[in-house]
A and B are shown apart, each in its own frame.
Chain A
Amino acid sequence: MIEALLDYEFIRYSFISGIVAGLIAPLIGTFIVIRRLSLIADALSHVTLGGIAFGVYLSTLFTFTINPLITGIIFSILGALGIERLRSVYKHYQELAIPIIMSLGIAVGIVFLSLANGFNQDLFGYLFGSISAVSMNDLILIVSIGIIVILFIFLLYKELFMVSFDEEYANVMNVNRWIYIAFIIVVALVISASMRIVGILMVSALMTLPVASAMRITSSFKQLMILSVIFGETAVISGLFLSYHLNISPGGTIVLVSILILMGTIILNKLGVSRNGGRNEEVPGQTQG
């Protein structure tokens, strides 16, 4: 693959997008997991599918093509705002927002796909990830999103930590409410950026599996973020190599490597390498995603 990286532009593009996804997905994933929003990431990725189908459909209507990634981003941001809204409508049943938005996303996707006359190779790439489909335009979008996400987390780390750890206290201390909306929009952006490589169906796995693994062996939040990124990058890089050499779609290989890492940490944990005294049976979020 090293030669391919040097020789083929499209492999380079995929590789760089993969590295970006392996960084930002687990980073934002730490906040998603501890805020118990793992399933929301899943719902949003299905809304992104609706947006992509819409983009594909629009392109069949007009003579020019519209990058479906852009309609995907727009849809997932709208979906994110919808989820926030529904979560405040169903205060005591916040998880209801998930099936509502998820089924809406899939329904919209199916309708536009049938209108656009079906299921082509492109779409297969969006669903399961693709190592050959990242265009220059995609790459620019993905890298820009990467920069936005990292700035967001770097600049608002304190506030994000606070609202994740103790929402009521954040409210008492008067931490700005818009941070919730900004957060969910950033989640939508991360999904769109990671989807090209990992695929819609497995995006939420890249956000949650590395975190679930890291949780078992860390004792501080900073450590959790760092370790999640290391696990995420390991999964993405080795997954891309496997995918290239075995000629299979990268989404599956990346997620399978993540699962292997997770199993490894569970075993390490059982052997007593954990830093937090083996108390992590109660760790939240592990069963989600």
Chain B
Amino acid sequence: MAEPVFEIKDISYTYKDKLEHTPALKNINLKIDKGDFVALVGPNGSGKTTLIKLILGVLKPQQGEIYINGQSSRRYKAGQEIGYVSQKSNSFAKGFPASVSEVVMSGLTKQKGLFKRFTKKDRDRLDEVLGMLDIGHLKDKNISSLSGGQTQRVFIARALVNDPSILVLDEPTVGIDNRHVKEFYEVLLKLKERSVTILLVTHDIGVVVDNADEVACLNEHLHFHGTNHEFKNLGEAELSKIYGFPLQLVSHDHDRECCI
């Protein structure tokens, strides 16, 4: 029996401002085992990013508990074991005076530890990851002079450079062209073989069905959690209930089609 990497127990979360309360998550229970590739899907505003921030300890749970490797997220942060691509990563890179290699290298910060400086070995690792994402030629470029998709690949590289055992990816392929998306999923599947746990948020249902082991459908509540085959066999009615509008699942084996 694989041990759970994430255990989410009865989590609810409401964004509280002075003026309004926006409930984002209600009574979520979810368990993700080591080496699983789980896709988290749901319409805009369904709480996917919120759940991820809770898991990563950026937000503190108001109700319920999250365990990471058996330890409560209130006290424990996975830190160096995690590779993370945030949904908004692209937006704040604009105008920042740093090169691609500096940004990707920063992913190694925690692993190196305080007071240590980067070595030749780290720079070799950097080149390896840049190659993996096909951005080696951009190495010395200013991050703010890249295109949207290129920037996104830089952030994926930063998440992979520390060889994480857990990958948390919030819509990592937004703006990336088809060829590089395909390559990206090949990289993910390779990592999966090395039993890296992957939690992926995406709107690309075709990709989910083809690559993920499990699918979790979120819309405030967790409406569905099962294998990708079970997900594929969900009726139109059930999917539409989750998404709140009529919807059908389109997935051809070769031609990945996005339906949301």
Q: Which of B58, B92, B140 contacts A219 (CB 8 A)?
A: B140
Residues from chain B with a CB closer than 8 A to the CB of A176 are 114
Q: How far is it, in angstroms, between the C-alpha of A160 and the C-alpha of B173 when the chains are bound?
A: 28
**Are B98 and A220 in contact, with the CB atoms below 8 A?**
yes
In which size bucket is the chain A interface?
Answer: 20 to 34
CA distance A174 to B158 in the complex (A): 15
Is A65 in contact with chain B by the CB < 8 A criterion?
A: no
The answer to whether B77 touches A174 (Cβ under 8 A) is yes
> Which of A157, A168, A170, A220: most chain B Cβ within 10 A?
A220
A165 at the interface (CB under 8 A from B): yes
Min Cβ gap B238→A in Å is 34
A162 to B144 CA separation, bound complex (whole angstroms)? 16
Taking A220-B98, A283-B97 as known contacts, 11 extra A-B pairs with beta carbons closer than 8 A to each other, sorted by chain A number, are A157-B117, A158-B108, A174-B78, A219-B99, A219-B142, A220-B142, A221-B97, A221-B102, A276-B144, A279-B95, A282-B95
| Contacts of A208-239 to chain B: CB distance below 8 A | 215, 218-222, 224
Complex: A250 Cα to B78 Cα, angstroms: 51
In B94-132, which residues have CB < 8 Å from any A CB? 94-99, 101-103, 106-110, 112, 114-118
Out of B57, B103, B112, B118, which one reaches A172, CB within 8 Å? B57
Asked if A173 is at the interface (CB within 8 A of a chain B CB), the reply is yes
Which residues of chain A have C-beta atoms less than 8 A from B141's C-beta?
A: 219
Contact A162:B109 (CB < 8 A) given known A173-B80, A220-B142: yes
- C-alpha spacing A102/B171, complex, angstroms: 42
A171: CB under 8 A from chain B?
Answer: yes
Is there contact, CB below 8 Å, between B96 and A173? no
Asked if A4 is at the interface (CB within 8 A of a chain B CB), the reply is no
A65-84 CB contacts (< 8 Å) to partner B: none
Contact with B along A4-23 (1 / 0, CB 8 A): 00000000000000000000
Closest to A222 in B: B102
Are A282 and B94 within 8 A (Cβ)? yes
What residues of chain A lie closer than 8 Å to B97, measured between beta carbons?
34, 215, 218-221, 224, 276, 283
| Cβ–Cβ contact B110 & A165, under 8 A | no
Sample of 7 A–B contacts (CB below 8 Å): A34-B96, A156-B115, A162-B106, A169-B86, A169-B158, A221-B97, A276-B144
Residues of B within 8 Å of A215, CB to CB, are: 97
* Complex interface bits, B34-78 against A, C-beta within 8 A gives 1, otherwise 0: 000000000000000000000011100000000000000000011
Residue among A156, A173, A176, A283 with most chain B CB within 10 A:
A173
Please encode chain A, from 101 to 120, with 1 for each CB lying within 8 Å of some chain B CB and 0 for all others.
00000000000000000000
Q: Tell me, yes or no, whether B211 is within 8 Å of chain A by CB.
A: no
Q: A168-B86, A220-B99, A282-B94 are in contact. Are A173 and B145 (CB under 8 A)?
A: no
The distance in angstroms between the C-alpha atoms of A109 and B97, with both chains bound, is 37
Query: A interface, by DSSP: helix, strand, loop or mixed?
Result: helix
Residues of B within 8 A of A218 (CB): 97
Q: Please, which residues of chain A bring their CB within 8 A of the CB of B144?
A: 276, 279, 282-283
The 5 closest A-B pairs by CB, nearest first: A174-B79, A220-B99, A282-B95, A276-B142, A219-B142
CB of A271 closer than 8 Å to a CB of B = no
Distance, CA A162 to CA B84, complexed state (A): 14
Q: Are A174 and B98 in contact (CB under 8 A)?
A: no
**Nearest CB in chain A: distance from B90 CB, A:** 12
Give min CB distance, B260 to chain A, whole Å. Answer: 26
Whether the pair A171, B58 counts as a contact (CB closer than 8 A) is yes
Q: What chain B residues lie within 8 Å of A159 (beta carbons)? A: 109, 114
The residues in A between 105 and 161 inclusive whose CB is less than 8 angstroms from any CB of B are: 155-159, 161
Tell me how far the C-beta of B225 lies from the nearest C-beta in chain A, rounded to whole angstroms.
24
Closest residue on chain B to residue A158 by CB atoms: B109
Question: Out of A173, A277, A280, A283, which one reaches B79, CB within 8 Å?
Answer: A173
Task: Please determine whether A279 and B145 come into contact, CB atoms closer than 8 angstroms.
Answer: yes
A158-B112, A171-B58, A173-B80 in contact; A284/B96 too (CB < 8 A)?
yes
Residues of A within 8 A of B118 (CB): 158
Instruction: For the complex, give the distance between the alpha carbons of A222 and B142 in Å.
Output: 12
Closest approach, in angstroms, between the C-beta of A9 and any C-beta of chain B? 38
Contacts of A221 in B (CB 8 A): 97-99, 102
A175 at the binding interface (Cβ < 8 Å): yes
Query: Is B82 in the interface zone, CB < 8 Å from A?
Result: yes
Q: Given the interface contacts A165-B103, A219-B140, does A172 sit within 8 Å of B98 by beta carbon?
A: no
Instruction: Let me know if A161 and B102 touch, CB within 8 A.
Output: yes
Q: State how many angstroms separate the Cβ of A153 from the closest Cβ of chain B.
A: 12
Instruction: Say yes or no for A275: interface residue by CB 8 A criterion.
Output: yes
From A158, A159, A162, residue with most partner B Cβ within 10 Å: A158
In the complex, are the beta carbons of B82 and A283 less than 8 A apart? no
Q: Is B95 a contact partner of A283 (Cβ separation < 8 A)?
A: yes
> Which residues of the partner chain B approach A165 to less than 8 Å between Cβ atoms?
96, 98, 103, 106
User: Which residues in window 169-187 of A have CB below 8 A to B?
Assistant: 169-176
A3 at the interface (CB under 8 A from B): no
